[in-house]
A and B are shown apart, each in its own frame.
Chain A
Amino acid sequence: MNNIKGLIKKDLYNLSSYKMTVLVLVAFIALFGSFSEDSIQFIPIAISAAIGMIMLSTFNYDESSKSEHYILSLPTNKREVIKSKYILIILGNIIGSIIGVIITILAAYIVAFIKKSGIPQIDYGLIFTYALGGFFGVSLIEAIQIPSIYKWGAEKGRIQMFILIFILVMLIMGIVYIAGNITFNIDLAFLENLFGKYGVLLEVLMICLMYFISYKVSNKIYKNKE
């Protein structure tokens, strides 16, 4: 366990140079998100996405410092190296989402204060849904991204990430278009009921499953990498 702690520490020390960038980014997102009551809801998504991407940059630090072989010469192994990355990235996402929720609530209060509209009517359920949605989106990108970084390296992985985000956006737009133009014979009430009752659980389960599959694939790739 100490080895994993050491590996996580190494990544956090690398990321410490991002302190100011993170603060400026969070302030920037909070500022632009506060322009209207509608855009406030997107703050948790934007913040968790930004922090998630910063977490992925630990791979770039390793690559630019060529530290991979040195790390493996320490009393650790490939499995622990991968485990530490996933722990760091998942923790980063959780913290990113929590920060996102807090900033959103703060932004709502600040907007209400500026507009002098009294105590804001905050839909906590909606903020939570958006935060979880952001968490899900970032997790999906990372779950695909991490194994590909292990396979092709951080530099090529970055290009691949932009392609991936583009494909995801196109896919979502396609689904929205299809849903808006084609009539399905689906029991919408049943689906609404299902997601209303078990949506959070399903989303959390999906996130766990995505990371689990991603971890297994990364392990397999890294084990055979020389």
Chain B
Amino acid sequence: MENNIILKKVSKEYKDFKLNDISFNVPKGSVVGLIGENGVGKTTTIKAILNIISSQGTIIVLGKDNKKYEQEIKQEIGVVLDDSFLSDYIDIKKIDSIMKDFYKNWDSKKYFNYIKKFKLPKDKMINDFSTGMKMKLKIITAISHNPKILILDEPTSGLDPVVRNEILDIFREFIAEDEERSILMSTHITSDLEHISDYIVFIDNGHIIFNLPTEELLENYGIVKCKKEEFEKIKKEDYIKYKKEKYQYEILVNDRFKFKKIYPINTIDRASIEDIMLFYIKGENK
């Protein structure tokens, strides 16, 4: 399997935070979700890939070193950053005029088609746009030069479910258009990833906790609900974390089918990505 992005032992140290030896790949034709709490290193990882911040380790994008071939690589990347865009004091037409100068493959026709499709006002300043409209514009701008990679930092945060769904549709369409394309998407709204991602990379405190196919996570991981007596009989190596609730114990297991064969406990639910994330962060070990 070929990869569009490869990170090998990427580190970045700040005064109060350290991104520690992050390694993962973004394969061609896939959507990789970067999850974790706020401030654990998701945005730092994205900024390191884009060479916005300096970092240690190796980052290969489209087969090239991200520092050596920075501008060449960026021609093939579309970026959406949660809190940063061109300017609030320009309009849609001016963005087209600016982007033409930056991207060799900028497609004005495609850009304005999307603008029309999403009914964005051409003559209004971005400052007057709603949060959803702004995000749609950011995404349209990111895909209108036909990039091979989309890098998205919290593209759905603060949006209502209808707009979120529309935006996820754009991503689906983007991947479906060309199987060589990839998306790397950081988010803390994990339910979005259940619908769209192929792999989940979970970062906590600057470390990768797991990097697994989404299907495997959703299919195999489970939450066992049991009484104290039952919990005490469970071996430490057969579960990942547990939470003590008011009347029962909840246990996260990485293979609910195997667990069911070993222990005579009937209540085992599927775990959502959010459940898994919360167990890893808030759960305890024996």
Contacts and interface: CB of A to CB of B under 8 A. Distances in A.
Interface of A: 2-3, 5-6, 9-10, 13-14, 17, 61-62, 64-77, 226
26 contacts: A3-B71, A6-B99, A6-B101, A9-B94, A9-B97, A9-B98, A10-B86, A13-B87, A13-B90, A17-B89, A62-B87, A65-B86, A65-B89, A66-B83, A67-B84, A67-B85, A69-B84, A72-B51, A72-B52, A73-B50, A73-B81, A74-B79, A75-B74, A75-B75, A75-B102, A76-B102
Contacts of B87: 10, 13-14, 61-62, 65, 67
Given A75-B75, A77-B70, A6 B52 contact: no
Interface size class of B (residues with CB under 8 A): 20 to 34
Contacts of B75: 75
B90 A70 contact: no
Given A6-B100, A62-B87, A75-B72, 19 more contacts: A3-B101, A3-B102, A6-B102, A10-B90, A13-B89, A14-B87, A65-B87, A65-B88, A65-B89, A66-B83, A67-B84, A67-B85, A67-B87, A72-B50, A74-B79, A75-B102, A76-B71, A76-B102, A77-B71
A3 to B, nearest CB: 6
A1 to B, nearest CB: 9
Interface string B80-122: 0101111111100010011111110000000000000000000
Contacts of A70: 79, 81, 84-86
B54 A226 contact: yes
B90 A69 contact: no
Contact of A73 (B79, B89, B101): B79
Given A77-B70, A226-B53, A226-B54, A71 B86 contact: yes
Contacts of A14: 87, 89-90
B270 interface: no
B47 interface: yes
Contacts of B103: 75
Given A73-B74, A74-B74, A77-B70, A64 B88 contact: yes
A33 to B, nearest CB: 31
A73 B47 CA distance: 8
Contacts of A61: 87, 89
A5 B99 CA distance: 10
Q: Which 10 A-B pairs have the closest CB atoms?
A: A6-B101, A75-B74, A73-B79, A70-B84, A69-B84, A65-B87, A2-B101, A13-B94, A66-B84, A72-B52
Interface of B: 47, 50-54, 70-72, 74-75, 77, 79, 81, 83-90, 94, 97-103, 151
Contact of A10 (B52, B77, B83, B98): B98
Most buried by A among B54, B83, B90, B101: B101
Nearest to A4: B101
A13 B79 CA distance: 22
Nearest to B50: A73
Contacts of A13: 87, 89-90, 94, 97-98
A2 B100 CA distance: 9
Nearest to B53: A226
Contacts of A72: 50-52
Contacts of A68: 84
Contacts of A17: 89
A13 B102 CA distance: 16
Contact of B102 (A66, A74, A226): A74
Contacts of A77: 70-71
Contacts of A9: 94, 97-98, 101
Nearest to A9: B98
Contacts of A10: 86-87, 90, 98
Contacts of A65: 84-89
Contacts of A62: 87
Contacts of B90: 10, 13-14
B209 to A, nearest CB: 25
A69 B86 contact: no
A9 B81 CA distance: 21
A143 to B, nearest CB: 25
Nearest to B126: A65
Contacts of B53: 226
Contacts of A226: 53-54
